[in-house]
């Protein structure tokens, strides 16, 4: 008799669902992450899908995946390698073979591993595991398609049974991780409440998958991930795009101004527009325009009229918006431009993620056209970063470019819904009635160099602004050389002085170390985990990660000059490292750069940082 395998207690586990882009891997991955978040686990997810709407069935180019790391605490990345892989076809197994731990559990649908399926995935033998060298993994070879048909016999046709394969796999994974089904059942009920027949089929198949796991419990490892106590509050699973939306809404409420978004659909930023469209009850206005230029121009018009105005895009769209951003710079009106970075150049790899728009955000406009640049560090930090982008834009009358990226925009994490009372006030520099006497459009606060904002229609403050240079004293059109020099310097000074109102840069890890690891934006989790890994192995290393890029925090130079070795790590060919060299004379940091369209691998980061430490 086979001895029953007891569940393994683990601090964290990595699960990856993978199959064709039509197999519903993103759906079941999202449901399992929502389930884990509701049970009190920390999670980080990584949806990884092809750009093609539907690649040929069973081919390598059509593989879609959803990876997550689930833990009780200290989860910062979706994980390097998987403890469990659900591979719905041979192509999914082949694409993910290099990301499996030696003792991983691999769940396959044997009905999709026939000779024709193996041929499509370019296998040359009838044993894909042997061919890939996966000799030590634990294989759960289940006839998922047939069991779905059996479960739904007399209730649904074969087409519905095929569509339910992902839900069977979800039920099996719920057993594998000792997860209750009632939360998943609630999620399915919400999704399919208008399709009762589909709901009934999925609930039956979910239970069938769970029961199958229970019946094979003696032959494969199962896992138990403990939860820890968190700060009291309401927790949910949120991705970066949705958190960005919530941050804009929160800033709108805090400032007491209506929120307007003018945008054009573009991957991976479209969800921002779609989510705001669903929030009409809050008085939010969304305009889907005919192109990127129209999107930002409608936002500029809304800003001029007194709204918190935003536009969302990705790299190619940011290029198209550059002239209009310059218009917001010279007009000195608030605007939030959300750029969800993706792989380029041109169309590039639209569903993959990079940090390659930084220099475009900093300098990609004609003339001396300074703008604020902020970079969100994680899916949940997109909320805080969007709030800060709005606050800076409204209080300093400037466009703010908020950089996120495809990894954190589509990825999700467990998030405690914040208390807005804990967030700072937003106070736009509106004109006051007593300023009517002698007021001009570019009358400024001498401490911040920010002009006072008069909303059109405010009696006694009639004025014109626009793309032509204006006289600093009168606001009239001016081509006088000394005035242009003065206005150029004032626009730059206004941005520089924002450093007085943003948080100071923090250093984590061993502050007395000789080596400082530096990152920015969405790589925070991977870099933090790599640094902590090194420290746990006796290496002294410090870590600082930038959210505010232009202007840099006031203490940034002091921090960077303190360490003998500074290592700047980013997903481009060295854009932030070059920017720091330009801003801080004499600084010459080490670099580690990768541009693969995929998140960093923590183990590789550890190797590279250690090499530099030991130089």
484 has pLDDT over 50: yes
Q: With contact defined as beta carbons under 8 Å apart, do 515 and 542 qualify?
A: yes
Instruction: Indicate the CATH number for domain 8-225.
Output: 3.40.920.10
Q: Nearest-CA neighbor of 353 among 263, 271, 243, 268?
A: 268
Q: How far is CA 76 from CA 22, 32, 45, 494, in A?
A: 29, 18, 10, 36
The structure tokens listed for 320 are 């198209």
The pLDDT > 70 percentage for the chain reads 98
Statement: 236-422 belongs to CATH 3.40.30.10: no
The whole-angstrom separation of Cα 89 and Cα 551 is: 49
Confidence band, pLDDT 50/70/90 cuts, at residue 229:
low
2 has pLDDT over 50: no
Element spanning 187, H or E:
helix 182-191
CATH topology for 508-613 is Rossmann fold (3.40.50)
435 has pLDDT over 80: yes
In a 3-state reduction of DSSP, which class is residue 553? Answer: coil
Predicted pLDDT at 50: 86
Same fold, 236-422 and 508-613: yes
Strand extents, DSSP E, 30-166: 42-48, 63-71, 82-87, 100-109, 138-142
Cβ contacts of 39 within 8 Å, gap of 6 or more: 179, 183, 227
Element spanning 414, H or E:
strand 412-416
Predicted pLDDT at 225: 86
pLDDT tens by residue, 540-597: 999 999 999 999 999 999 999 999 999 999 999 999 999 999 999 999 999 999 999 9
Confidence band, pLDDT 50/70/90 cuts, at residue 230:
low
Predicted pLDDT at 233: 76
Task: Give the domain ranges of the chain.
Answer: 8-225, 236-422, 429-502, 508-613
Q: Taking residues 352-381, report their average pLDDT.
A: 97
Element spanning 415, H or E:
strand 412-416
Compute the mean pLDDT over every residue in the chain, rounded to the nearest whole number.
94
The structure tokens listed for 543 are 């870590």
Q: With contact defined as beta carbons under 8 Å apart, do 342 and 352 qualify?
A: yes
Predicted pLDDT at 1: 38
38 has pLDDT over 90: no
4 has pLDDT over 80: no
The whole-angstrom separation of Cα 368 and Cα 294 is: 23
The whole-angstrom separation of Cα 490 and Cα 449 is: 7
pTM of the model: 0.94
pLDDT tens by residue, 82-122: 999 999 999 999 999 999 999 999 999 999 999 999 999 99
Annotate 117-145 with b (16+ C-beta within 10 A) or e (fewer).
bbebbebeeeebbeebebeebebbebebb
Q: Taking residues 423-430, report their average pLDDT.
A: 97
Confidence band, pLDDT 50/70/90 cuts, at residue 52:
confident
């Amino acid at each position: 008799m086979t001895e029953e395998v007891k569940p393994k207690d683990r601090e964290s586990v990595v699960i990856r669902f993978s199959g064709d882009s039509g197999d519903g891997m993103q759906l079941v991955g999202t449901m399992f992450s929502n389930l884990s978040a509701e049970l009190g686990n920390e999670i980080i997810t990584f949806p990884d899908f092809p750009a093609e709407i539907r690649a040929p069935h069973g081919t390598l180019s059509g593989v879609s995946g959803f990876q997550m790391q689930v833990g009780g605490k200290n989860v910062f990345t979706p994980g390097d390698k998987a403890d469990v892989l659900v591979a719905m076809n041979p192509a999914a197994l082949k694409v993910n073979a290099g990301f499996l731990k030696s003792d991983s559990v691999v769940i396959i649908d044997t009905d999709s591993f026939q000779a024709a399926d193996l041929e499509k995935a370019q296998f040359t033998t009838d044993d894909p595991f042997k061919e890939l060298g996966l000799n030590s993994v634990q294989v759960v070879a289940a006839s998922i398609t047939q069991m779905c048909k059996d479960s739904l016999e007399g209730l649904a046709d074969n087409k519905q049974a095929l569509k339910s394969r992902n839900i069977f796999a979800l039920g099996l994974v719920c057993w594998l991780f000792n997860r209750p089904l009632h939360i998943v059942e609630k999620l399915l009920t919400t999704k399919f409440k208008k399709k009762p027949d589909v709901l009934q089929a999925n609930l039956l198949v979910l239970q069938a998958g769970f029961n199958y796991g229970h019946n094979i419990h003696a032959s494969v490892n199962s896992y138990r991930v403990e939860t820890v106590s968190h700060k009291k509050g309401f927790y949910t699973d949120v991705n970066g795009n949705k958190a960005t939306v919530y941050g804009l809404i929160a800033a709108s409420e805090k400032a007491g101004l209506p929120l307007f978004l003018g945008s054009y659909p573009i991957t991976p930023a479209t969800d921002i527009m779609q989510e705001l469209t669903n929030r009409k009850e809050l008085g939010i206005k969304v305009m889907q325009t005919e192109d990127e230029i129209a999107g930002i121009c409608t936002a500029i018009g809304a800003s001029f009229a007194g709204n918190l105005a935003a536009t969302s895009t990705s790299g190619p769209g940011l290029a198209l918006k550059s002239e209009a951003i310059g218009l917001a710079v010279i007009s000195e009106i608030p605007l939030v431009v959300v750029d969800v970075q993706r792989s380029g150049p041109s169309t590039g790899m639209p569903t993959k993620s990079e940090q390659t728009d930084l220099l475009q955000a900093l300098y990609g406009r004609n003339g001396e056209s300074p703008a604020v640049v902020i970079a969100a560090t994680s899916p949940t930090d997109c909320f805080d970063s969007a709030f800060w982008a709005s606050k800076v834009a409204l209080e300093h009358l400037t466009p703010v470019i908020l950089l996120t990226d495809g990894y954190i925009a589509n990825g999700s994490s467990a998030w405690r819904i914040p208390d807005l009372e804990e967030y700072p006030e937003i106070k736009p520099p509106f004109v006051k009635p007593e300023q009517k006497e002698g007021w001009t459009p570019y009358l400024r606060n001498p401490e911040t160099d920010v002009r006072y904002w008069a909303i059109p229609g405010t009696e006694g403050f009639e004025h014109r602004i626009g793309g032509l240079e204006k006289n600093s004293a009168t606001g009239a059109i001016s081509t006088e050389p000394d005035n242009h020099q003065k206005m150029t310097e004032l626009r730059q000074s206004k941005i520089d002085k924002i450093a007085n109102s943003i948080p100071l840069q923090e250093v984590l890890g061993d502050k007395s170390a000789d080596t400082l690891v530096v990152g920015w934006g969405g790589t925070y989790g991977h870099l933090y985990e790599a640094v902590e890994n090194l420290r746990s192995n006796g290496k002294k290393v410090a870590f600082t990660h930038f959210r505010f890029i232009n202007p840099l925090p006031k203490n940034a130079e002091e921090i960077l000059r303190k360490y003998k070795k500074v290592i700047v790590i980013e997903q481009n060919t060295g854009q932030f490292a070059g920017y720091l060299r330009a801003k801080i004379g004499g600084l010459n940091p080490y670099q580690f750069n990768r541009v693969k369209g995929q998140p960093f691998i923590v183990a590789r980061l550890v190797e590279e940082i250690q090499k530099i430490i030991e130089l």
